[in-house]
Amino acid sequence: MIGQPKYTLAILTEQIRIGNRESLTYLFEKNFITVSGYLQKYGHDEVEIKCILAGALVEVWKEVRQSAGTFNIDEPYLLKKVDEERTKSKNLPTTMAVKAAKAFDLLPEDKKELLSMFFFEDLSVSQIAALIDLKENDVNYGIEKSFEDISAIIEISER
């Protein structure tokens, strides 16, 4: 994100309530270093940290959207949510989300870009095709092939 907005607590709360995804990205980027330091003490790697933080922020997002008034998203509250998310998965060998995230990291950059545009930027196949100058069929094939690659990587890692 270019030039992160400086949200006040009231504006951040309102932006989350109206569904502004940029506010969620802002929270992720603003808190990543603090959460990384906290979770590294428990032996989590960067991919696991990203997954745990993302899961915690989804919970924050839901709580804010269901509450009235200004919601205090301070560091102690966020670390409590991170700890809850970490505790949920600490007894699992490796969750599927972590496996998928690690597999995604192993994809070539062009496949990462394609999946990011489709899933994270919510671009349609036709929009992606126009942006990267491909036919829609080629974009669909690229998305399918990327999923096949992720599945293969996960399958291999489980052997």
91 φ/ψ angles, rounded to the nearest 5 degrees: -90, -5
CATH architecture of 97-157: Orthogonal Bundle (1.10)
Closest CA to 27 of 64, 40, 47: 64
pLDDT per position in the chain (159 positions), as tens?
Answer: 344 556 787 888 888 888 777 787 788 888 899 999 999 998 888 878 887 888 788 788 888 888 877 778 888 999 999 999 888 766 555 566 677 777 888 888 898 899 888 877 778 899 999 999 999 999 989 988 888 888 888 777 665
Q: Indicate the pTM of the whole model.
A: 0.57
d(CA 2, CA 5): 9
Compute the Cα dihedral for 114, 117, 119, 123 and give only its sign.
negative
Q: What pLDDT is recorded for position 27?
A: 86
Domain ranges for the chain, please list them: 9-91, 97-157
